[in-house]
Amino acid sequence: MGELDQPSVVAFPLRGEWTVERTPAHRIPSHGTDILGQRYAYDFIRTDTRAGSRVHPAGRLRWLLIGGRTQDCYGWGEPIHSATDGEVVVAVDGVAERQWVHVARESWAALKTVRSYRRSKNPRLLAGNHVLIRAANLFSLYAHLAPASVAVTEGDRVCTGDLIGRVGHTGNSTSPHLHFHLMDSADPLRARGIPCAFSEYLVEQDGRWEHVQNGIPRRHQRVRFGA
Asked whether residue 70 is domain-assigned, the answer is yes
Q: What's phi and psi for 147, nearest 5 deg?
A: -60, 145
Q: Are strands 17-22 and 222-224 parallel, antiparallel or unpaired?
A: antiparallel
Indicate which CATH number applies to the domain containing 83: 2.70.70.10
Map residue 216 onto helix, strand or coil.
coil
List, for residues 61-101, the tens digit of each pLDDT value: 999 899 999 999 999 999 999 999 999 999 999 999 999 99
Measured between alpha carbons, how far is 48 from 220 in angstroms, rounded to an integer?
12
List, for residues 104-151, the tens digit of each pLDDT value: 888 888 778 878 878 888 888 899 999 999 999 999 999 999 999 999
Q: What is the chain's mean pLDDT, rounded?
A: 94
Asked whether residue 1 is domain-assigned, the answer is no
- pTM listed for this prediction: 0.95
| 3-state secondary structure string across 72-140 | HCCCCCCEEECCCCEEEEEEECCCCCCCEECHHHHHHHHHHHHHHHHHHCCHHHHHCEEEEEEECCEEE
Measured between alpha carbons, how far is 56 from 189 in angstroms, rounded to an integer?
34
**Encoded amino acid at 203, one letter:** V
Which residue segment(s) compose the domain that 124 sits in? Answer: 8-224
Contacts of 205 (CB under 8 A, 6+ apart): none
Tally of structural domains, the chain: 1
Query: Sorting pLDDT into bands at 50, 70 and 90, what band is 1?
Result: low
Asked whether residue 104 is domain-assigned, the answer is yes
Q: What is the mean pLDDT of residues 171-176?
A: 94
Please give the pLDDT value at position 104. 84
Asked whether residue 3 is domain-assigned, the answer is no
Asked whether residue 2 is domain-assigned, the answer is no
Asked whether residue 79 is domain-assigned, the answer is yes
